[in-house]
């Protein structure tokens, strides 16, 4: 039996999985177009599903907690849905009663409204009837009469045999309009459809949302498994991580939105009650609920109580106080509460939130505006975990799309050293100059060197980067002139102006330690020009190279420097882009005449400290021989 099984397994062909071909840009654009068209055409079906998914995200933690209390799946779901229905019904009852009370009191505000209109009318007028508003009205009326006379005269002249044009203001004869009375009986069904038709659409949508929500809560594990099978059963870890990430972000966003809305509506209600605006409970509840709608919600919530304050008060104090209340609470909520609570809850950039609101509102109307942020969060999560959709995270996410060293390199390449200096100063406020050099500025030069090796960086670009880095270091430098007795170090660029810029970066750090540091371009270290460097007063030489693979060139440069300065001057070889644990530093020590080899700014400073050049007083005392 075992032999037969083994024979069948050996005879079974092995399926070879081929890598999927890359998707073209045209295909991606076609897919996006089809998705947008589908969202627009099938909005009546997809909107209830999206609302149900949103409610399922909100209610799932509560259902899970009830299930842990051994209440059962079906009773837990029904209890949560019933509580939700009761909450919505109670909210509607409170709002309805408040609106009825407001409608009963509106006639009493008619006199105040009339008084304000009269005050506005009198304010726009000056002495007598020479007010600016009246003059503009009279001028507009005269212009309209002139246009009517000219139009009537032109029409009379165009008609053959027409008599003189009628005088302005003379009565004109009009043809009688025939009127037909339709006495057909209106059916009951037509009457019902006209009256209840507009109200049936939101009721039907709410019913679909309720049904979808119940089934999603009842079968959430089965839906999750089906989604995993549909999206990527071959990569369970990535798919599970994406679904968990989306669920956590959407749930956290909705929870924080509830907290923000409550902290917004409560002060509004209390403030309106203290100011004496009628029905403050109604306006506080509406402010809490309407703030779920991005951008437009707070405007709508503030418009009604502000308009009501105009009708309640005969003066202008109450309306101005209401406006100040809404402005103050909105500023506090936007600048204090939301940054504190949200943090990175959504993962969306500010521009992405605005664009998403416009797009989803265009597709689905007000409901799309409500769902814009949660749906866009799901798209960003897909872009984060699915390589083919990475462009979604780049376009909509809040993560930096370029590392800081790439930003520095791009700003220098664009001949914008001022912005590069701002980035460097911001990093310098959080780190030391050595950390700034090793973590930001040196990697930026390494990026330039890598592009030079690939042939994508022309000489003009190299010159822009080198000059921009020199200007940046001049702006950052605040070191005083070193003393005459300070050590002198020559920082020599190995091959090009990028190596010279790296040497200038080391010179900037040495100057901060009170050391004379001269930057020497590679041309001055050539065979014909090296004699001009002199040999007196030089305590060390540093050869700077951003290309760790160019050991042959570094070896020739080191031999030339050694012959010129002799054995008394130590020479430090800095291979900036080499990994400290790679074999390159070891090979450089064996194949060149360098006394020491370093791969970073901190390492170069440490090597010079071993030579008692730029050492701190503690390091010098430790290296000095004991007197005992």
- Residues 246-269 have pLDDT tens digits of 777 777 777 788 888 888 889 998
488 three-class SS: strand
**What DSSP state is assigned to residue 79?**
H
Three-state secondary structure readout of 490-528: EEEECCCHHHHHHHHHHHHHHHHCCCEEEEECHHHHCCC
Q: Which long-range contacts (CB under 8 A, 24 or more apart) does 321-329 make?
A: 321/275, 322/272, 322/275, 322/277, 325/268, 325/271, 325/272, 325/275, 326/268, 326/298, 326/302, 329/264, 329/267, 329/268, 329/271
- Find the mean pLDDT for residues 180-186: 52
**Residue position matching structure tokens 């929870």:** 255
Distance between CA atoms of residues 420 and 457, nearest Å: 19
More confident residue, 196 or 307: 307
Structure tokens at 326: 């809404």
Instruction: State yes or no: pLDDT of 406 exceeds 60.
Output: yes
Distance between CA atoms of residues 252 and 206, nearest Å: 24
Distance between CA atoms of residues 501 and 494, nearest Å: 11
Q: What is the pLDDT of residue 580?
A: 60
Instruction: State yes or no: pLDDT of 188 exceeds 80.
Output: no
Q: How many helices and strands in the chain, by DSSP H and E?
A: 26, 5
Q: Quick one: what percent of the chain has pLDDT higher than 90? A: 8
Q: What is the pLDDT of residue 444?
A: 92
Instruction: State yes or no: pLDDT of 76 exceeds 70.
Output: yes
Distance between CA atoms of residues 61 and 252, nearest Å: 11
More confident residue, 250 or 421: 421
Instruction: Report the CATH fold assignment for 405-615.
Output: Rossmann fold (3.40.50)
Nearest to 588 by CA among 575, 569, 579: 575
- Find the mean pLDDT for residues 82-111: 78
Q: Quick one: what percent of the chain has pLDDT higher than 70? A: 74
Cα torsion 34, 39, 44, 45: sign? positive
Nearest to 369 by CA among 431, 421, 432, 298: 298
- pLDDT interval class at 15 (50, 70, 90): very low
Q: What is the pLDDT of residue 175?
A: 58
Instruction: State yes or no: pLDDT of 17 exceeds 60.
Output: no
Instruction: State yes or no: pLDDT of 166 exceeds 60.
Output: no
Q: Where are the alpha helices (DSSP H) in 548-594?
A: 551-565, 584-591
Distance between CA atoms of residues 555 and 561, nearest Å: 10
601 three-class SS: helix
pLDDT in tens, 373-384: 888 887 887 777
Whether 363 contacts 43, CB under 8 Å: yes
Q: What is the pLDDT of residue 14?
A: 38
Q: What are phi and psi of 542, to 5 degrees?
A: -120, 120
More confident residue, 501 or 84: 501
Q: Strands across the sheet with 488-493, in order?
A: 516-520, 488-493, 540-545, 571-575, 596-598
597 three-class SS: strand
Angle at 559 between CA 554 and CA 565, to 5 degrees: 120
pLDDT in tens, 310-356: 777 767 788 888 989 988 988 888 777 776 665 555 667 777 878 88
Buried b (16+ CB within 10 A) or exposed e, 290-326: bbebbeebbeebbebbbebbebbbeeeebbebbeebb
Q: Which long-range contacts (CB under 8 A, 24 or more apart) does 192-199 make?
A: none
Cα torsion 46, 48, 51, 52: sign? negative
Instruction: State yes or no: pLDDT of 469 exceeds 50.
Output: yes
Instruction: State yes or no: pLDDT of 505 exceeds 90.
Output: yes
Instruction: State yes or no: pLDDT of 605 exceeds 80.
Output: yes
Q: What is the pLDDT of residue 128?
A: 46
Instruction: State yes or no: pLDDT of 567 exceeds 60.
Output: yes
For the ranges 77-91, 228-242, 394-408, the lowest mean pLDDT is seen at: 228-242
């Amino acid at each position: 039996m075992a032999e037969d099984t083994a024979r069948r397994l050996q005879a079974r062909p092995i399926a070879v999985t081929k890598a999927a071909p890359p998707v073209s840009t045209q295909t991606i654009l076609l897919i996006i177009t089809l998705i947008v068209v589908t969202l627009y055409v099938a909005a009546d079906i997809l909107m209830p599903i999206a609302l149900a998914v949103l409610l399922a995200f909100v209610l799932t933690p509560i259902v899970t907690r009830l299930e842990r209390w051994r209440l059962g799946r079906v009773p837990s779901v029904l209890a949560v849905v019933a509580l939700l229905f009761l909450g919505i019904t109670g909210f509607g009852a409170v709002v309805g009663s408040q609106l009825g009370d407001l409608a009963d009191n509106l006639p009493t505000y008619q006199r105040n409204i009339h008084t304000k209109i009269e005050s506005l009318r009198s304010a726009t007028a000056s002495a007598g009837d020479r007010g600016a508003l009246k003059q503009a009205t009279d001028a507009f009326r005269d212009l309209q009469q002139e246009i009517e006379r000219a139009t009537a005269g032109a029409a009379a002249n165009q008609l053959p045999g027409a008599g003189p044009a009628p005088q302005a203001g003379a009565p004109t004869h009009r043809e009688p309009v025939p009127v037909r009375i339709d006495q057909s009986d209106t059916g009951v069904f037509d009457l019902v459809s006209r009256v209840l038709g507009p109200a049936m659409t939101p009721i039907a949508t709410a019913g679909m949302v309720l049904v979808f929500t119940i089934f999603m809560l009842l079968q959430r594990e089965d839906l999750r498994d089906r989604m995993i099978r549909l999206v990527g059963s071959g990569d369970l870890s990535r798919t599970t991580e994406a679904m968990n990430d989306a669920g956590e972000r959407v749930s956290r966003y909705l929870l924080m939105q509830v907290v923000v809305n409550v902290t917004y509506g409560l002060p509004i209600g209390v403030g309106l009650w203290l100011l004496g605006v009628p029905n403050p409970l109604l306006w506080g509840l509406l402010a809490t609920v309407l703030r779920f709608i991005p951008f437009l919600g707070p405007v709508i919530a503030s418009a009604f109580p502000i308009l009501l304050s105009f009708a309640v008060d005969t003066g202008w104090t109450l309306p101005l106080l209401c406006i100040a209340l809404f402005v103050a609470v909105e500023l506090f909520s936007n600048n204090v509460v939301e940054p504190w609570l949200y943090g990175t809850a959504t993962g969306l950039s500010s521009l992405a939130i605005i664009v998403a609101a416009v797009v989803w509102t265009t597709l689905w109307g007000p409901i799309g505006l409500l769902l814009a942020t949660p749906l866009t969060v799901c798209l960003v999560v897909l872009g984060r975990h699915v390589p083919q959709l990475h462009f979604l995270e780049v376009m909509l996410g809040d993560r930096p799309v370029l590392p800081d060293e790439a930003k520095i390199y791009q700003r220098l390449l664009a001949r914008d050293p001022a912005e590069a200096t701002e980035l460097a100063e911001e990093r310098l406020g959080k780190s030391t100059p050595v950390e700034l050099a090793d973590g930001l500025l040196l990697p930026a030069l390494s990026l330039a060197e890598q592009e030079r090796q690939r042939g994508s960086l022309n000489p003009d670009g190299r010159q822009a980067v080198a000059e921009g880095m020199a200007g940046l270091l001049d702006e950052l430098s605040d070191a005083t002139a070193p003393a005459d007795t300070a050590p002198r170090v020559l920082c020599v660029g190995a091959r090009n102006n990028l190596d010279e810029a790296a040497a200038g970066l080391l010179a900037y750090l040495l100057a901060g330690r009170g050391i004379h540091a001269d930057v020497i371009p590679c041309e001055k270290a050539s065979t014909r020009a090296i004699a001009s460097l002199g040999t007196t007063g030089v305590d060390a030489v540093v050869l700077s190279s951003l290309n760790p693979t160019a050991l042959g060139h570094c070896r020739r440069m080191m031999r030339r420097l050694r012959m010129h300065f002799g054995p008394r001057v130590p020479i430090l070889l800095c291979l900036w882009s080499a990994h400290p644990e790679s074999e390159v530093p070891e090979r450089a020590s064996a194949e060149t005449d360098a006394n020491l080899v370093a791969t970073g700014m901190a390492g170069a400073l440490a090597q010079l400290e071993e030579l008692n050049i730029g050492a701190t007083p503690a390091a010098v005392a430790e290296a000095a021989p004991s007197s005992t």
